[in-house]
Amino acid sequence: MGTELHLDVGTLYAFLLVLARISGAFIYIPLPGIKSGPEVARAVLSVSMTFVLFPRWPVIDPSQINLALLIGWMCAEAGLGLAVGLAVAFVTEGFQMGAQIISLQAGYSFATTIDPNSGADSGVLLSIAQLAAGLLFFATGLDRQILQVFAESLTTRPPGHFALTQSMANGLIQLGGSIFTTGLRLVLPLLGLLLMVEISLALLTRLNAQLHLTTLAFPIKMMLSLSLFGWLLLIFPKVFSQSSVQVLQWIRTLLLA
């Protein structure tokens, strides 16, 4: 006897809605190298994660859904995924902001390298901070926690039952503001050191006008900045964990409250 494959329309609707939620998050989630990779790989990853969450797919009655309602739900789910991915990206953007702040003062903005994620030119310190934050995304287990929250959200907030409120939007804006505070906290010791170097060189030049320290300023600042930045890498995991806790709290409020 031949077997016949039967696909329920309600199951297809559930697949499309869950896929919209998952794929929206993968646009901004900071996976190292995902932006420079082929588009097919990202599509396969989104579909695979959607099938992994198959036991949590919602039960949808297709007789009560029309095309306009389905499109509206898919847009809402995609927006939800984008908000979650953007919140997670804020964590890594804080590290890049810190590296960008000191790149010019330390003299590393004159030398650029190819960013492996975007393929564009970027500073050396910026590339180091971006790669370190991307690796910490997996090392701290943030990827597993995000996937777990997505799985639980399919039960607490199934597709078609989500509505963005003003408090949620305000929370996302506050997370965006944490980019500047996190970056400044990371490089504040280095900024203080560079300021002391500038003041010392200015005083020496003031005391003896025959001293030409301009040619020595950049090598000294670059050497000190690289040494202290290497030490600052040791506290990257702690700062990343503290920032990710705030992001996870907002995501749980968004999806599970």
Q: Could you report the per-residue pLDDT of 226-255, keeping only the tens digit for each?
A: 788 778 788 888 888 888 888 888 888 887
Give the residue numbers spanning the domain of 226: 9-255
- What confidence tens digit (pLDDT) does each residue in 48-101 have? 888 888 888 888 887 888 888 888 888 888 888 888 888 888 888 888 888 888
Q: pLDDT category, 116, cuts 50, 70, 90?
A: low
Question: Residue 2: what pLDDT?
Answer: 47
- What confidence tens digit (pLDDT) does each residue in 3-51 have? 554 567 888 888 888 888 888 888 877 776 666 666 777 788 888 888 8
Residue 208 scores a pLDDT above 60: yes
Q: Give the range among 110-119, 133-142, 163-172 with minimum mean pLDDT.
A: 110-119
Look at residue 2 and tell me if it is in a domain. Answer: no
Look at residue 3 and tell me if it is in a domain. Answer: no
How many independent structural domains does the chain possess?
Answer: 1
Question: Residue 39: what pLDDT?
Answer: 72
Calpha distance 182→214 (Å, rounded): 32
Question: Residue 117: what pLDDT?
Answer: 55
* In the chain, % of residues over pLDDT 90: 0
CA-to-CA separations, 166 to 152, 159, 162, 170, 171, in angstroms, rounded:
23, 20, 13, 6, 9
Look at residue 4 and tell me if it is in a domain. Answer: no
Look at residue 1 and tell me if it is in a domain. Answer: no
Mean pLDDT of 143-148: 86
